[in-house]
């Protein structure tokens, strides 16, 4: 949502952005890239602590780390056709994050990337990479229909899908999927 806001030059309202977490999707390839970037054996949790020393793994949900402000980083992995069915730590270090299987994760695998430069609260810039907005909106629409999901999340998922669809319809967001069809 943050990347889509920056690309479209808008600010979503609070009900649409009512989230205090970020989900990171990991594949075997991204695990290898993480290992290559980190020269010494460092856990993903230690890596997060470099940005904010208050991050701790959520022992009830070992796919999540939360900081003292209640901001959560959730790590997800493929659910379909996953070669490794057992939970595994990102780094192989005891006490690290264990990515949870993401429902319908195959929808993300083939999605084109959407990249946007964003500016952080500390005025630094970075490139945020996420999934194509058409894929995102379709996934959020699907999530808003799940009967086993919390009511607040269902409403937020629906609002997010609608907001992104509106920006696509107005031409404020560009999708590689739309461009190729």
pLDDT tens string, the chain, 181 residues long: the values are: 889 999 999 999 988 887 766 766 665 555 445 554 555 567 888 888 988 999 999 898 888 899 998 888 888 777 655 455 556 777 778 888 888 877 777 777 778 999 999 888 789 998 988 889 999 999 889 889 988 888 888 898 999 999 999 999 999 999 998 765 4
55 close to 66: Cβ distance less than 8 angstroms: yes
pLDDT recorded at residue 21: 65
Half-sphere CA count of 64, side-chain side, radius 13 A: 13
78 close to 69: Cβ distance less than 8 angstroms: no
pLDDT recorded at residue 32: 46
pLDDT recorded at residue 134: 95
pLDDT recorded at residue 95: 86
pLDDT recorded at residue 50: 85
pLDDT recorded at residue 85: 56
pLDDT recorded at residue 138: 92
Angle at 58 between CA 21 and CA 53, to 5 degrees: 75
The 10 Å CB-count burial string (b at 16+, else e) for 55-69 is: bebeeeebbbbbbee
Give the residue among 66, 95, 90 at the shortest CA–CA distance from 76.
Answer: 90
DSSP code for 40: S
pLDDT recorded at residue 61: 84
């Amino acid at each position: 949502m943050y990347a889509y806001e920056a690309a479209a030059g808008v600010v979503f309202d609070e009900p649409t952005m009512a989230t205090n977490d970020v989900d990171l999707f990991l594949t075997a390839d991204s695990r290898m890239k993480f290992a290559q970037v980190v020269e010494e054996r460092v856990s993903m949790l230690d890596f997060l602590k470099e940005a904010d020393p208050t991050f701790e793994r959520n022992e009830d949900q070992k796919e999540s780390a939360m900081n003292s402000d209640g901001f959560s980083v959730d790590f997800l992995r493929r659910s379909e056709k996953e070669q490794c069915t057992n939970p595994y730590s990102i780094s192989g270090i005891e006490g690290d994050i264990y990515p949870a299987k993401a429902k319908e994760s195959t929808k993300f695998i083939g999605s084109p990337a959407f990249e946007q430069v964003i500016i952080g609260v500390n005025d630094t810039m970075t490139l945020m990479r996420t999934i194509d907005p058409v894929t995102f909106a379709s996934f959020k629409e699907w999530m808003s229909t799940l009967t086993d999901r919390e009511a607040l999340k269902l409403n937020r998922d629906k609002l997010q899908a609608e907001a992104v669809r509106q920006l696509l319809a107005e031409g404020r967001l560009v999708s590689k999927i739309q461009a190729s069809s």
